[in-house]
Amino acid sequence: LVLAACAPQATPPGPSGTAASKVGGSVTFVATTDPDTLDLHQTSNPVSSTIFGWIYEPLVYQDLDNSYKGLLSESWTVSPDSKTITFKLRSGITFTDGTPFNADAVKFTFERLQRVGAKSPIFETFKNVASMEAKDATTFVMNMKEPYAPIFHDLQTAYAGILSPTAVKAANDNIGRAAVGTGPYKLKDFQTGQQITLERNGDYKWAPALFANRGAPYIEELRYRVIAEPATQLAALDAGEVDALGLRAQDIAKYSSDARFKVFDSFTFGLTYLGFDAKRPPFDNPKLRAALAKAVNKDEIVQVVFENKLAKAQCCPIAESIQGYDPKLKDFEQKYDPAKAKTELDGLGYKPGADGMRTSPDGKPWRPVLYTTTADTHGKISTLLQAQFKTVGVDLQIKQLESGALLAATPKAEHDLYLNGYSWNEPDMFSLFLSCDRITSSNRVLYCNQQLEDLIRKGRTELDQAKRMQIYFDAQKLVMQESPWQPLYMPVSKTAVNVKIQDLRQGQAGGLYWHDAWVKR
């Protein structure tokens, strides 16, 4: 409900009319590829999940402040050992086939996921679920083998939506074109390779409290046209055949000045960073990493490479779009300070030679090598970093590799520095990108710190959200002081939306929410 098209959001009704007068109209989006299936257990295709995110609903959702709230559940309790979660479910909810939503439906859905959901992004999560019980119609119990705090992140995704057992059985388990859920929309038509049409669920009356409209959505139909080519997408937007479209950098100026559209900024759930190979001398010295981090001018990167449009400078390992970000951590940022960078490099024995370029403490030429991908954006950033390092006397070299070759090279500790990024909407990203056991895979800076390992373990097992956020505050503070990464920027996307769509607003991270939106006719 709160994810897609991302899916629905809120603005109090104004003088624009009564709720009844807002009902009607349609909105057309672009599907860049044909969705393979609307069976949420048989795909990891983001186009499919965007569409079935309107049809199915999960037990929980992520609110505007990134906290988790009940959607199909009212509340939940966690056992003292953090292995059992007991959900109190909402009553009075029905699937669009008229059958009741209850604990049996939840149990049926998740057991099916465990049985046939190998293609689902949350399949591995449910391998940790030992047993499930429908104690009564409104009580569902999940017993995990081990505590796993990211469970709520996984349970709020579209892939964790609840199925109608009756509909699944009626379709003989073939629900790829027979999706039935409790959501604000239901499947009307699926024309393979052309268009998917969803129609309003007029009986819907359990929207989250973040919306002014707690009942059925106002927009009568949502359509997804399959259009692969960017030029064709833009032509459809200009012709009024598409109502919302993500823009490329070269298209932003045109649509920002076009009165037919409003352009919305949305933050992405990820970060691009400059990493230091913490296993390879001399970058195993955190003081050297911190000194070089101070030579990086993030604002210049955002302005020169992105023209202040498609990126926002970031202070911290967790981007501000992700739960766990805390602005108080800016106090620990290795801020741009070339004078201090020079002083610290001098103190570490890296002295400038006659040409102004620094030598290593043994007097030999020092030319650290930055590894990155062959992407044009990464090339531009690398060139700018090279110039920034030169101002503090560091002769930075650049080596661009195809993505596959780059990922193969990093576990060998052949690089000194590394430019790339991550995309992950969960503070547990530390376990993926900075943990000791990921050094041969996704930990591209080969950083291993036992204090961080302890925090990672606590963060993965602490289900109290307030306590968990403090753990990730401490983890970020440690990483910012140790400087295996210098966070650079968070990518920003821009979406042009036809101005006929009223009362559309954005969440904290800029995601568009549509449940209160309506079409001016």
Q: Which residues in the chain land under pLDDT 70? A: 1-17, 508-510
- The confidence score (pLDDT) of residue 17 equals 55
The C-alpha atoms of residue 57 and residue 208 are separated, in whole angstroms, by 11
Q: Are 375 and 305 in contact (CB under 8 A)?
A: no
**Which residue do the tokens 């990134």 mark?**
66
Instruction: Give 487's contacts (C-beta < 8 A, 6+ positions apart).
Output: 271, 273, 298, 314, 315, 316, 317, 319
Closest CA to 151 of 128, 171, 135, 133: 128
Q: What one-letter code names the amino acid at 125? A: T
Backbone torsion region of residue 136, taken as left when φ is above 0, otherwise alpha when ψ lies between -120 and 50, otherwise beta: beta
> How many of the other CB atoms lie within 10 Å of CB of 102?
22
The C-alpha atoms of residue 519 and residue 521 are separated, in whole angstroms, by 6
Q: Are 478 and 452 in contact (CB under 8 A)?
A: yes
Closest CA to 293 of 328, 343, 338: 338
- Quick one: 302 exposed, middle or buried, by C-beta within 10 A (0-12, 13-18, 19+)? buried
Using alpha carbons, list the distances in angstroms from residue 302 to 3, 105, 312, 347, 485: 27, 48, 6, 30, 17
Q: And the tokens for 396?
A: 């930075």
Q: Are 226 and 237 in contact (CB under 8 A)?
A: no
Q: What one-letter code names the amino acid at 137? A: A
3-class DSSP state for residue 351? coil
3-class DSSP state for residue 12? coil
The C-alpha atoms of residue 99 and residue 112 are separated, in whole angstroms, by 18
- The confidence score (pLDDT) of residue 509 equals 63
- The confidence score (pLDDT) of residue 508 equals 62
Q: How far apart are the first and last CA of the chain?
A: 25
- The confidence score (pLDDT) of residue 510 equals 64
* Domains in the chain, CATH or no CATH each: 19-243+500-519 (3.40.190.10), 270-492 (3.10.105.10)
Using alpha carbons, list the distances in angstroms from residue 295 to 77, 121, 376: 48, 39, 22
Q: And the tokens for 31?
A: 């599907």
Q: And the tokens for 481?
A: 């002081």
E strand intervals along 93-194: 129-136, 139-144, 185-191
Q: And the tokens for 116?
A: 């046939």
Using alpha carbons, list the distances in angstroms from residue 428 to 149, 150, 349: 9, 7, 37
pTM: 0.76
The C-alpha atoms of residue 417 and residue 384 are separated, in whole angstroms, by 14
Closest CA to 26 of 411, 500, 387: 500
Q: Are 277 and 63 in contact (CB under 8 A)?
A: no
Closest CA to 223 of 200, 248, 254: 200
* Rg (alpha carbons) of the chain, rounded to whole number: 25
The C-alpha atoms of residue 414 and residue 68 are separated, in whole angstroms, by 41
- The confidence score (pLDDT) of residue 512 equals 87
- List residues bridging with 226 in a β-sheet: 31
* Full strand arrangement of the beta sheet holding 73-78: 73-78, 84-89, 139-144, 129-136
